[in-house]
Amino acid sequence: AIGAISASGAVAGLSAAGITSGLAAIGGSMLGGIAVVATIPVVAGAAGYGLVKGIKAICEANKLDCREVDKHWELVPKAGEKNEE
């Protein structure tokens, strides 16, 4: 939140009053400013979580396993199982 306030240039200082004023300038009120500033990290976290869950679902549906091979992660068929294709 402090970085967003500083980058926006809404206030000159980063004292308690400056941070409060900066949040109010960004979001209309202090709570609104916190909501605006906190949205991006929350959305990024949710997108990352969804990406991991989606990849795991695709791996399970296609009987794939994720293994480290030569310092890289690869999707390989699960041991002892064959794909139907």
Alpha carbon distance 29, 39 (integer Å):
15
Beta-carbon contacts of 79 under 8 Å, excluding residues fewer than 6 positions away, are 65
Summarised one tens digit per residue, pLDDT across range 28-50 is 887 888 888 888 899 999 999 99
Calculate mean pLDDT across residues 1-8: 72
Amino acid present at 9: G
Band (pLDDT 50/70/90 cuts) for residue 83 is low
Calculate mean pLDDT across residues 73-82: 77
